[in-house]
Structure formats: C-alpha cells, structure tokens
Structure 1
Amino acid sequence: MIEILDKNSAKNTKTFLLNTKNTTYAFTVLESGHLAHLFYGAKCDFGLDGVKATEGINKYLAGNTISYSSEYSNIGLEDLALEVSTIGKGDIREPQICLTNIDGSTSNDFIYHDYELINGYSSNGYRHLTCMPEAFSGDEQLIIKLKDSQRNIYLELVYTVFEDTDCITRRVRIINKEETFIDINRALSLCLDLPSKNLSMMTFTGAWTREMNVNELKVTQNKIVNSSFTGTSSNRNNPLVILKRKETSDFYGEAYGFNIIYSGNHYSCAQANGYGKARFVMGINPENFDFRIEHDEIFETPEVVMTFAKNGLNNLSQNFHEFIRNHIVRRTWAKKVRPVLLNSWEACYFKFNETKLLNMAKKAKDLGVELFVMDDGWFGNRDNDTCSLGDWDVNLKKLPNGLKGLADKINELGLEFGIWVEPEMVNVDSNLYREHPDWAIQIPGINHSEGRNQRILNLTMEEVRDYLVARIFDMLSSANIKYVKWDMNRIFTDYYGINLTRQKEMAHRYVLGLYDIMRRIVEEFPDVLFEGCASGGNRFDLGILSFMPQIWASDNTDAWCRAKIQTGYSYGYSTSVIAAHISASPNHQTLRNTLQESRFNVAAFGMLGLEVNLSDLNDDQIQLLKEQIAIYKKYRDVIFDGDYYRLSNGEETEFGNCVYEWICVSKDKTRALAFTMQDKAVANQPNAWLRVTGLDDNKKYHFFNMSNKYEIKHFGDLINTVSPIHIKPDSAMHRVIGKLKKMDGEVEDMVVAGSLLNNCGIRLHQNYAGTGYDGDVRFYQDFASRLFFIEEVVDNEND
C-alpha cells in the first residue's frame, strides 16, 4: 500500500511509495523541498537503495539552464522529474499550476511542508471532493502539503490508491491564505514526468457519429495536446489518453493510462524535454479559464485516474474496466445487469401517439424486450426540434392519458417504462424561454449562435437548477418510470451568464451546477436507470458515469461503424457502460445494408437495445430477433462483468480487408463470448481461423456458433446455376422461392482444450470463395460477422 521512508529526518526529506497489487509509484522530497518523481511502473522492492539509484541529481547543471537558487546551485528544475510544476524558477516545460498573485506576478515556488496519511475511505480525515464526483472505496489516501516559499498560498496534492484495480487517482487543492484574492489561470490535476524513450501518446478523436478513432503520435519536444472546448468532454477529443512504448501492443509491452472524472472542458499535453524526460499533464482546460479565490477559500480540481500495465493494452484496459465497475458506477445499477430495451426514436422519430407506442410495445414484449422507452416528442408542441424544450408538459394530443396512463398500460404488458429528456436545454419557442429569457446562456444584445435550434440553460444559477430538479421530480413521481435517457444535443459557443461577474469561471461553474442537479435527482430516485447521452458520445466520461451507469455511445448504429467506435471505447471504458442498439437496414446514418446477424453481434457487446420499427420486419426477421435476444440474456452477465480482450482491433490484414475480433470471458473462466467481423470479403480466401485468449488452459470447452439460415436473394444470379428455368434476380418468382427455400449456414460445434483455443486457435469452416456453397461453407460477405459461444465442459467421471 503506501509506505513512507525517512532518508534524513533532520532535513525532513522523505520518500513516498504508493503500491497497488501490480504497480509502484514513487516520489521523494529533495533537500531543496521540491518533490521529485522517481518511478511509476511494475511493482518493485524500492527501499532507500532504490531512492539512491533513481534520484538522479546532477552535480553540474547543463549549459543554458537555470539554477534554482544559490543554496542549491546544482538543481535545475528544467531537468528534474517533478510531481508539481509551476511557472518560474527555471522549469520551462508545460506547467500544472499557474496563478496570478496579488502583485501581478505569475511565478510560484511550492515547497514540501508536511504530509498526512489516511487509511480507509471512510476515515474522518479523508479529503472528499465537495462539488464534483470522485472515485469511491479507495484503500488509502496520501495528502502532500506544500507551501509557496514566498507567499501564503498552499497546495495539497491528494493521492488515493485503489489496490486491486492497479489505479491511483490524483488531484489538487489550492488554499489561499493571502490577505486578498488570487486568480487561478491554470489548475491541472496531474503532472507526471517519465522517461521519454520510445514513448507515444494515444488519443481518441472524432465527431458526431464518428466517435473514438484511435490516434498515435510519438512524444517529442513538440507538444501533443488533447483537449475539448465544447463545454463537454466532447466527441472531438475524448479525455481518455494512453502513453505507451513503441513496441507495446494489445498483448505485450508497457503502457500508462489516464482519464479524468470530469464532464467539461479538459486538457492533456505530452511533451519531451531535451534531456530524455517526458511530461504529461491533465486537468481542466485552461482556455478561457480564470477562477478567483478569496482569502481562506479553496479551489479543488477534479480527480485524474492513472494506471500502469506491463503486459499490453488489454491489461491496461482491464484495469480501467474494473475501476469503473468497482469505483465509479454506483447505486442500484452498479452490479445489476441491464434490461433489453426498445427505443422509439429511429422507429418513428416525432411521429407517434399512444396507440402507436403501445403497438410497438406489444411486439417488443413478444420478442423478449424488458423495457420500452419513449424518446423525444412527448411534451409541449414537440412535433420537430424547433420548440418546447424546457416546458416538459405532456402533449395530451399524443398521450391523452398522460405519462401515467401510458406507463400503466406498458406495465400491464409486462414491460418497464422509460422516457427521454433534455433538461439542460431550452428552445426560444417555448414557454420557459418566453418567461425567463435571462435563464439561457447568451450575451445580452449580441446575436446568438444556434445549435439544433436550442440554447443552453444557465446551470450556474440556483433558481434554474431548482426549477429543473422540481420538474424532473414531478415527472418521475407522476408515473412508474424506471429509465431516463438524459440527452444534451448542442455544444457551448458563447460562454456568458448574467449572474456572473467573472465570465471565465462560467464553463467550470456550469459543470458544478450540472453535478448538483444530477446528484439531487439520482439520490432521490436511486432505482431509476439513467442513461447519459449527448448527441451520442459527446459527453462519454467518468463524471457522467458517476451518476448514470451507462452512456449512449454514438448516434451511429451502423454495425461496421459501431465495431470501430466500440473498439475505441474499449481502451478505457467497460462494456457494461456502453449502450448499443440493433437498428434498421439500410442504416439511418450511412444507408449501408447489413445483415441482422451483424447488427446483433456488434450490439451484443454492450448493453443491448433495439432502435427499429418492428412492424417493418418480416416473420423470419422477427423470429431471428427473438432468438438473438434470448441468446443475449443468457450471456449478458459475461458481457456485463467479464474480462474483455481485443483480439484484432480493425487493422488491415495481408489480404487488404480489416477485421475486428473481441472476446469477453467470465471471471470464473467457465463461459465466454467471442466476436469476429470483416469489412469486405476477399476473393479466393477460404481459410478462416480464430485464436482467443483469457480461457483456462486446463479446462475443456464446448465451442459453437448460432446456426443461421440465409435468403437465396443474397446469392443473386447464382440461383440459375442450379435452377432448371431462368429466374430473374429480385423478380416475383425469386422472392417466392426465397421465402420457401433458405440456405443453411455453417455449424461450428466442437469440444477442445482451453490451451488449444488460447495458444493455437481453431480452423473455422471455409469462407465462400466462388467454387461452391453448402451448409459446410461460411456465407461471409462484406460486413459479415460471427458470434461464438464457449462453455466449460465438465467431465462428470472426474467430479
């Protein structure tokens, strides 16, 4: 856990070792009082000998560098691995803390003052965040207290250790003991200096419907920045960041992972110096940020989560997954598998009434769906997206019996009932805006930039927060509502609140206001399943997950796009928090036609839902969907809580196509669900192999797939190679034959050793390659996929 070594008690030069199950994090106090980082990596026996071996203070400074002071003339901050960094005193790298002091200067010099060690999360001395979510159930907490050498300004560096998940959180408290105010220009939560050799930075970027694309850049003396300025954590740049060695892959090598428990503008930067060290910082975006604290006030930064893995990126991802499951997601749904749902949005958009919704719900119940969700369009005059946001009064033309009447009828069918809301927004064409235009974020007298015909309510105002909480309380109390989809469909543009005198505090105060609202609501309704959404993945972050146990990953439900998106999320987020739906084909975002098999297979690696008009499906599609939902229910606990591995992450094969392969293995290694998908079929490539990981080498497993049948229409004109008469493709006769005759898909069914599946892999049935097709050949065309089920076989004779 946390060890403290005294190097020389007379000079108060201590070393702090933060140990998790598999990692060690070490830093020391130099004689100058600065905190020098020593090591972060695989667990090791450090001791005082380790301190001497890693401290690394040069006897002479390099040319053109700055000596910290005459007393410590050989110390140059530019070439020290520091635990905290500021402007001034010679450290010219990316700073962590930037203050404007009362004399207008921006130089600060924080020196070690004291420490406090707290055992156990429930201790009275535990430093809890007051206005933001934090990870819970930490094992130990270390507070390092520093003081500016010339001013009455204090820093507390707060470290919390989560031993079993190999995670450590870090944050900062700035305490003003000056006689007057200070202005905080930058307050990042983390500063970490590491050896820069062969170090790369992975980020996850995108846009609406194109979230979580993986990028990798080598860390050099040029800055690499990952940040958002949308007012949200953003789909443009998710806050998840990974630093990895050049040779690191999913299965091999060292990697460091970072994420922030925050839902607003974030900032990360990696940069090497000229002496073989790399600095990484993370926290609130300093762009357009300036926060004033008066005498005796404290400013707290959000928590940053960091983890280290020596056995590749899958190892790193699993650390994050367990951390989210055990220390972020809370309340009723933290350990409870989620219901299969049907959402009305893509089925009918704004065009619905109670009768139409009930017909959808009846069909859904017959399929095995457990929760029916009514999306946008149920309130005010909401027949399109130009009006009524903010009013939240039921549209009695669509729902003559109100929310309660609909919910009761849904419940009578045996389904739970859920609803869509977008509380943070207001339309100009709404009663709320007409009554309270000053509640919107907008600059008086200046034309406002619109997004989706709506504006953002000013959550820094207490009366706005109270109004929203009261309306949502009323709504959730009015009917048996068990699920809420909380949406946010525009980003910030003009940061301004008429109630604020310091407008550069707006973005952060908004996030604090949002957390206040969410906390009050989820604590009042702990049994309601809340799902976060912000145009899909525009606010997919650990802050939202602290209140809402799952997030809609993307408005893009195309199976191939989702395979890529969900792979991106998997680097830092568990499958248990990713909401994924089966939608129509052609897809509404890409117009791509994809087999129902693939649409289900991808969505099965998340919290499953449907986003399709069931009335448009034929009998075969309905039956297949019913079977798929039953299969999902059988394995959803594995998806919810199992160990996830990326086997192939979309890279191009030697044949020019791209392949995704995943597996989730139950904790006891008795069951697993494996997935494979390609983007395009390759001519004359019959061979298909699958090698998995994570199973028990010493167990035997039944390996099988879900048998499918395929319509003859997929084979086009090939039907005429066996037909005694010519059949025109897509003709009436072709369609009749297609209904009567289905082509059998291949059946994989074998019992093999776990060691074979893990270390060798197995040959699957051959792919169709143009020379023949029957039930022993895989129908594996563009965007085809397969699920494979793996179950332990118990030898009864040996029991």
Structure 2
Amino acid sequence: MGIMVQEQAGLFHLQSSGMSYLIQIVNGYPVHVYWGGKLKHRERMEDLLLHTPNGAGLDRLPQEYPQYGSGDFRNPAYQAELADGTRITELKYVGCRTMKGKPALSGLPAVYTEDDAEADTLVLELKDSYSGLKVDLLYTIFADRNVIVRSVRLVNEGLNQLRLRRALSASVDFAEKRDMEITYLSGAWAREGNITRRPLLQGETRIDSKRGMSSHQFNPFAALVTPETSESHGEAYGFSLVYSGSFEAVAEVDSFGSTRLGMGVNAFDFAWQLSQGESFQTPEVVMVYSGQGLGEMSRTYHRLYRTRLCRGEYRDRERPILVNNWEATYFNFDADKLVSIAEEGAKLGIELFVLDDGWFGKRDADNSSLGDWYEDRRKLPGGLADVAERINKLGLQFGLWFEPEMISPDSELYRKHPDWCLHVPGRRRTEARWQLVLDYTRQEVRDYIYDSLTAIFTTVPVSYVKWDMNRALTEIGSAELPPERQSETAHRYVLGLYELLERITKAFPHILFESCSSGGGRFDPGMLYYMPQTWTSDNTDAVERLKIQYGTSLVYPISAIGAHVSAVPNHQVGRITSLEFRGNVAMSGNFGYELDLTKFTDEEKELVKEQAAAYKQIRGLVQQGDLYRLKSPFEGNESAWMFVSEDQEEALVYYFQVMAVPHAPRRSLRLAGLNPELEYEVQSSDSETTSTWGGDRLMQLGLHLPYKQKDYESGWFSVRAVGTNISDRA
C-alpha cells in the first residue's frame, strides 16, 4: 500500500487498504485513469493504461488538472493571465517526488497525520515553459482510510508578473461512468442541511457561495453517486473542501457523457497577483470513496474529521451539557437572573452555563456595540468575573458569546476607526443586522480583537466560547490593499481569520470553542480545524432538526453538531412538541438547553434531570461512535438512526414519528453496524425488561416499533452485547 510509481509507463498508483487511484502521464499531461475499489498492483499494468482514440485532443482526455486554451473546452482547473494580457498556459509534467506522511499547508487548515506511517504523499510537478508558471499537484493517500487529499501550489518561476484568475484545488474526470447523480447540502437560514440529489445531465450543475463564507445556502461538499447508490449499497465519491470562504463545486457533463467535477475557491470576483518567486497555495479537498453507499462515505468522513482535522484538548474529550440564556432572556437580563438559571441547571446535572449576546458595550438590542468588547456594568455591576465566580461556585463552568468579526456603526470602535470595516471608498456601506464586517486582511484589526479577547480570557474563568458570525461580506474591499490586489480581499479575509484563530486557540487551549454563523452559515471543515464543534442551526424546533441534523451528518461527525432543547411554542416555527421528543433529538448531538430552566414545572425539571443523567451515560457513544442512518426524514414521516461503538458491543437507536397515522401498519426497524455473530440484549424506552437477539436477526429482520396514536413521538433502544455493561466504558 502507499504510492507505487512506474516511471517508464508514466503510471502512479495510489493505494489504501480498500481503494486505488491511478494517474498516467500522456503526452506530458497528467491523466486520470481510475478511482475506486482497491486494485492489485501488478509488475506490469499495461492493461490499466489509458488508450485514447486516434487524433483525439485534450477535449477527450480525462485530466487531473485541466487547462483552457489548448483544445479542452470544458471547465479548466486554473487560469493565469500573463503580463502581456494573454491567458494561455500549458502545464506539462516535469517530475515527481514522494514523501511519507502529510505536509502541512502554510496558513490554511488541513487534515493531518500523527505518525508518518498513516499516509503517503505524491507531488506531481508541472510547468509552463513559456510563462514560468510551476504547479505542484499534491496527493496524500491514507493507508487505512479510503481517503485522498488534494491541493495545489502555484509558483511564479518566470521573469514577469502573473495574475491567477482561477485556481481550483482538485478536478476529477469520470470518463467511464455514465448516468451519474450528484448529492449535496442546500438550504437557507434556519433550514440548513437539506439533502438534494438529482441526475447529472449534459451541461453544468453548480453549487457555490459568493458570500465570503461557506453559507447557509450550500455547504462546500458534494458527492457523485451511481443511480443505484443508497445509504448502504453502491458507489459514492465524496468531495469536501477545507475552506470557510466563497467556494465552488461544478459538475460538468460533456457530449460524450463524461463527468468532470472541480472544487475550490470560487473564481467569481477572485484574482491573485504572483510576482516573481511568489506562490499561492489552494485549500485542500478531502476525497472519499465508498463502495458501500453513502453511509460508509459519511463514516469515513466522520472518523477522519473527528480525529485528524479537529485538534486540541477537546478533540477526544466528551463535551459538556450546557444551558444557554439566549432564548431565555435575549438582551433583558442582569447578574441575578443569569445565576438563577445556573442554579437550576446545577440541580439538574448541567455542567456549563453560557452567557450569550448582550453582556458588552451598551448592547440592549442588536443595533450597537459590536467591537466594544468590555463588560456592561449596568447589567453586571460586579463584571464578568463576579458572574463567572458565582456560577463556578455552583459547580458549573462558564462560557461566553462573541461576534469578533463584526463592528456596529453605533460603537466606540467604529467612531474611532471607521476605516476598519470592509468597504470601498466613495460607496455606501451595506449594513445587515445593523452591522458591518471588520477588515480581517489588516493585521492591526486582528491584533485589536486578539488583545480584546485576551484581556477577558486572562481575567475571567472562561472555559467555552461561542464564536458567532452573523452576516455575509459586502463591499469586499480593503483600504490597505493596492488596486491590483483588491480582488484578493475575500480570500485574504479568510486567511486573516485563520491566522487569528490559530493564535487565540493556541494561547487558550483550555477553552472549548464553538463556531457559529447564524447557525450553520459557516459549518465547514475549515472552521472545525480550529473549533471542534459548530452551532448547527438557529432553528431549534425538534421536527425541523430531524432534517437539519440528518443532512449535516452526511459529511460532519456528530461530535461537531450542536443540538439543544428549546422552549415551546418553538421560537422559530411556533410548534409544540414534548420535552421527551425534543430531548431525544438533541441527545443525538452535542446536548444542551436553550431556555429558562426556572420556568419549568417540577415534572419538567425531573425529566431534564433524567435527560442529563442519561446523556452522561451515552455521550461517549453518541459523540465518538459510528453513525448509521436508518430512516430518512426527507423520505417520509419517520426518522431513525443509531450509534455503534467501535468494537460493535454497544449501540443506541433513536426513532421518531412526526405525525400520527390512522390504522397504521405494523412497523419494524432494521439495525446496522452490529456483529452478526454476537448476541445482544435489547431494552426499549417503553419497557424495563430486556430481550436477547442475534446481531444477524437485528440487522436482517429488525425490531418491532411500538406505535402510539400521537403526533411527535419518539423512543430509543439500548443494544448491548451479552456480557457487557455500559459502566465498563465509563
């Protein structure tokens, strides 16, 4: 396994435990030969080499990093403008090198290895002899994961200036597969994570963001599948971009039925100047192959992102149960009110209290004070330290909400530095939520935010930070950049954000950072590199969350998915669901509460106490186990999923019914991921007794689902191999 090179044949075979990826050099061009299930590496592999029709040009070659202008009329992976204004370059293969492990990417988040034996990296060196543009194609293949990670480094080795107008991270041509379909995540604020699947027809299918953030509308992820691919069967090819800004993923089907998928930084409104000797590094694309359906693709992403993308003290730790005061108080609170909620939380088993928006500046509504990161002594006479100390004495940790990338026109910071926001001189400054975006391309702006947060973190015992970002970028320009570099602003903003996050998370490794962008507006792998969990959506309605959390799990691990119980009627849709139903949905992620615990009845408080105690028993399994999606909320009235331990000795199944059905038929639920040779004890949430079944029976025949004539019903099954005890894992 690893990387095998046949120099004479110009063949490169990248091989993991269950996957192969083959590249061939044809007339100096790197050509895509194969990506799929593992192939044996023979001494001679002429049977695998690509043979093209006589006289065929580049338009018929399935290329690894295609260019435009020399006979390929499909979407190129890159384009460079030369000093003379021409846009024609022709990259040819000049050499290669291999290395153990995986190199870091300068200034960018990336998956990593902890041991060089985990992966091998191939670098294909290409060059345009006319302009001096040199391009390194980086491929890292993991030994025990069906994962290839691709990125590109472009270097100006010529004498004249170059201007990149397009620089994607990866491009793959599927020349031999026909009738492919694409699956991706779409939506909007409060309804993120909708799974969209549709056939690819001749022409383009494009998902992208031009918002300066990965966006609520589309996630930087796409998978190509065959028509027969399901959750557990068929082939799936996943593409996930480790990036938090404007992106594009374009699938193009040509007149011969071949499909090309390219992914990377959005070429719209992008350009990057390369002077002599300068380089540009693209973000990386994590490519996953599954021959066992979308479920296995998802689990591959989950394991990789959970353990080789997320970092820090909380990567492998169980996450605390929290209560957030936002929907309980909004801006109307004082220290005593906050402490009263924390007091109830302490009695009920909650571990972390989070003070949300409204604690700083003169923030009585969302129309002022962003940027003024000092405590409001009107609301908190003793300051944050006093509130935190009172909450700590109750046995709870203390957390804070920030929105560090924004500035309010009504703020002391803006009055002092009106040029610190993204803006274009002479043009109006578009406000959204009465706020503008700080110019993170500027070092002094990032330093101000770093110093402001550091002043709080060194004087207040903060153990959790919710880092919010509530609007997209407009008037994307910087007062500090020269005219020829204004088109670099959006990408430089993201690089500036990453630089700040690297500094702040390294300086305060004990703080659990959670990313947020009005919910899931920036739920992407780039943010997970710095913050191991994300607030999934501002929509906390349990029924809506079935779809949001199910869809998000297509690529992101459960340990990254923030899920809270909120009050009813729900603040986003007005729906009333039971506390039990809301709890079962929220316990399928990083669990917490978003409400006023002091307003609960004694009966409700007892149920919260039971939920908190139960989650402490199961959270290791939920957050670190393998997820199997059993019933899709996008396909019917029911949803179900299960979490399975790595050794297959323990599992937890949740099922949900949205609306009651009259005279309902008998229902059963087939489980997955168990060991067919083991016997399992099964206990239902509806019964204190257990029954014993074989793993094969549970997966082939399933479990009978109880039916109740009631809307918004849910339940669970605890599944344990005979002879094991959950306390053994505590």
Short-chain TM bin: over 0.9
Q: CA deviation at 1:153?
A: 1.1
Distance 1:60 1:462 in 2: 54
Aligned partner (choices 18, 42, 46) of residue 22 of structure 1: 18
1:780–1:621 CA distance, 2 compared to 1 (3 A): farther
Aligned pair partner of 2:588 in 580, 595, 605: 605
Residues in 2 aligned to 1:218 and 1:310: alpha-carbon distance in whole angstroms: 19
Does 2:691 align with 1:762? no
Q: Distance in 2 between matches of 1:48 and 1:40?
A: 19
Work out the percentage of aligned pairs sharing the same amino acid. Answer: 39
Further displaced range: 752-761 or 327-336: 752-761
* 1:466 CA drift (Å): 0.6
AA aligned opposite 1:19 = Q
Question: In the alignment, is residue 218 of structure 1 matched against residue 199 of structure 2?
Answer: yes
| 1-structure distance, mates of 2:643, 2:703 | 18
1: distance between equivalents of 2:204 and 2:233?
A: 27
Corresponding residue of 1:90 = 71
Is the 2:653–2:717 Cα contact (8 Å) retained in structure 1? yes
**Are 1:135 and 2:111 matched, yes or no?**
yes
Alignment correspondent of 1:721: none
What is the 5 A alignment of 1:389-538? 389-501=370-482, 502-538=485-521
Q: Distance in 1 between matches of 2:565 and 2:372?
A: 31
Q: Please state whether the residue corresponding to 1:282 is helix, strand or coil.
A: strand
* Equivalent-residue separation in structure 2 for 1:762 and 1:233 (angstroms): 40
Residue identity in the other structure for 1:24: S
Structure-2 residue corresponding to 1:250: 231
Q: TM-score, normalised by structure 2?
A: 0.96
Unaligned runs of 5+ in 2: 726-730
* C-alpha separation in 2, matches of 1:165 and 1:343: 37
Residue 458 of structure 2 aligns to a residue whose secondary structure is helix
Matches within 5 A, 1:1-400: 1-6=1-6, 8=8, 13-30=9-26, 32-47=27-42, 49-61=44-56, 76-121=57-102, 126=103, 128-137=104-113, 139-194=119-174, 195-400=176-381
Alpha-carbon distance in structure 1 between the residues aligned to 2:184 and 2:214: 13
- Does 2:641 match 1:662? yes
> Does the residue aligned with 2:243 lie in a helix, a strand or coil?
coil
1:785 to 702, 707, 714: 714
CA RMSD of aligned residues (A): 1.5
Contact 2:310 2:531 in 1 (8 A): yes
For 1:44, the aligned partner's letter is L
2:2·2:119 contact (CA, 8 Å) conserved in 1?
Answer: no
AA paired with 2:647? D
Q: Match for residue 556 of structure 1?
A: 539
Report the residue type matching 1:183 in the other structure: R
Query: Any idea what SS the aligned residue of 2:315 has?
Result: coil
SS at the partner of 2:218?
coil
Which residue number corresponds to residue 671 of structure 1? 650
Alpha carbons 1:165, 1:320 under 8 Å: kept: no
For the residues of structure 2 that align with 1:683 and 1:4, how far apart are their CA atoms?
Answer: 61
CA 1:780–1:114 in structure 2 vs 1: closer, same or farther (change >3 Å)? farther
Asked whether the equivalents of residues 33 and 48 of structure 2 are also in contact (C-alpha less than 8 Å), the reply is no
Q: Which amino acid aligns with 1:230?
A: R
**What is the rounded CA distance, in whole Å, between the counterparts of 2:283 and 2:493 in structure 1?**
14
The Cα offsets for residues 624-661 of structure 1, whole Å up to 9 and x where unpaired, read as: 11111111110100111111011111244xxxx52111
| Pairwise CA distance, 1:47 | 3.4
Question: CA offset at residue 163 of structure 1?
Answer: 2.3
Report the alpha carbon displacement of residue 196 of structure 1 after superposing the two structures with TM: 3.7
Question: Are the aligned partners of 1:369 and 1:415 in contact in 2 as well (CA < 8 Å)?
Answer: yes
With over 3 angstroms needed to count, the CA separation of the structure-2 counterparts of 1:747 and 1:495, relative to structure 1, is: same
* Displacement of 1:7: 5.3
Q: Which residue of 1 aligns with 2:620?
A: 637
For the 8 Å contact 1:176–1:296, the answer to whether it is kept is yes
Q: 1: CA distance between counterparts of 2:391 and 2:28?
A: 66
Higher Rg of the two aligned structures: 1
Asked if 2 retains the 8 angstrom alpha-carbon contact of 1:441 and 1:455, the reply is: yes
How far residue 445 of structure 1 moved from its aligned partner, in angstroms, is: 2.7
Shift of 1:2: 2.9
> Does the 8 A contact of 1:224 with 1:271 survive in 2?
yes
Q: Deviations over 1:94-117 (max 9, x none)?
A: 110111011211111100011110
SS in 2 for 1:519: helix
Answer whether contact 1:353 1:399 (CA < 8 A) is retained: yes
In the alignment, residue 721 of structure 2 is paired with which amino acid?
A: E
Cα-to-partner distance string for 1:364-408 (whole Å, 9 max, x where unaligned): 011110111000010111111001100011011111111111111
Match of 1:585, SS state, is coil
Write the distance in 1 (CA, Å) between the matches of 2:155 and 2:111. Answer: 22
Counterpart of 1:713 in structure 2 is none
Q: CA offsets per residue over residues 600-632 of structure 1, 9 Å max, x none?
A: 111111110110111221111111111111111
CA contact (8 A) 2:52 2:60 kept: no
How many residue pairs get aligned? The number is 718
**Counterparts of 2:589 and 2:310, CA distance in 1:** 16
Query: How far apart are the structure 1 equivalents of 2:264 and 2:254?
Result: 21
Q: Extract unaligned runs of 5+ from structure 1.
A: 62-75, 708-745, 768-778
- Whether the 8 Å CA contact 1:7–1:48 is kept in 2: the answer is no
Q: State the secondary structure of the residue aligned to 2:606.
A: helix
- Displacement of 1:706 after TM fit? 2.9
Deviation, 1:681, is: 1.1
Q: Deviations over 1:166-216 (max 9, x none)?
A: 111101111101112100000000010113412111111111001011111
Measured in 2, the distance between the counterparts of 1:595 and 1:749 equals: 26
* 8 A Cα contact 1:38 1:51, kept in partner: no
Report which stretch shifted further, 418-427 or 217-226.
Answer: 217-226
Give 2:109's aligned amino acid: P
State the match for 2:728 in structure 1. Answer: none
How many Å separate the matches in 2 of 1:465 and 1:305? 29
Deviations 1:673-721 (A, max 9, x none): 11111221110115232221111122222212335xxxxxxxxxxxxxx
Could you say what secondary structure the match of 1:229 adopts?
coil
- The answer on whether the counterparts of 2:661 and 2:709 sit within 8 Å (CA) in structure 1 is no
**Amino acid in structure 2 at the alignment position of 1:641:** Q
CA positional deviation for 1:780: 4.7
Displacement of 1:306 after TM fit?
0.2
